[in-house]
Structure 1
Amino acid sequence: MNARTSKAAMDEAVNAAQLAESALHELSSLRRVVNRRSETINAAGNGLCALANLLGADASEHHMTADLKYGAACAVDAIGELLKEFGCQLWEISEPEEDSK
């Protein structure tokens, strides 16, 4: 291996190391986003379970007024919209970038 070949090999190794470092940084950023989103989704799931029990899923009878039922329905709707939004955001984050040509 001559000096020119050795220099080219070193340059390629440095470029590969920089690409690996960049990929690790992106992965770390993605993990932070997923961690934050999963915490919110978990909280939404807990809320839905509580509402399900309030609506009778726990086999107990809960005396709910019409206003309370309407409030529960609005809460379920809001949680559903939240989950749809987070699902779209996670999809966008995880989608591979298209090569620009």
Structure 2
Amino acid sequence: MNMDYAKLDRDNEAFHLKQMEEAMKGGAAERSFYTAAFAAHQAAVSDGLMPSRDEDGELTYSPQQGLKAACHSREDAAATLNIQLPVLRLLHQVRILAGSCLVVLLYIAYRVS
């Protein structure tokens, strides 16, 4: 079976980029996550960390790619924390708002009774 792997790879890349663009249209948390995921993907492509096809059409990684990926793992952990920080700040603000609403409702209940 002779497949055009270059076309398959291009179609696959286009499909995933379209999915990411659609997902970025969501809320603030989704935008933060998918923007970071898109940046990470672009960085992996530019650093040469994506697999390449061998003569049998299988996706393979070279030993150098494995070493580079291990070196970049700390950056990935830092990026994950950078994504979580805005979400945690948003949750903290929602908690403060919920507490304020609870205080107002308790005051109203006290005044009504």
Q: What is the TM-score of this pair, normalised by structure 1?
A: 0.45
**Higher normalized contact order (CA 8 Å, seq sep 6+, divided by chain length):** 1
Q: What is the TM-score of this pair, normalised by structure 2?
A: 0.41
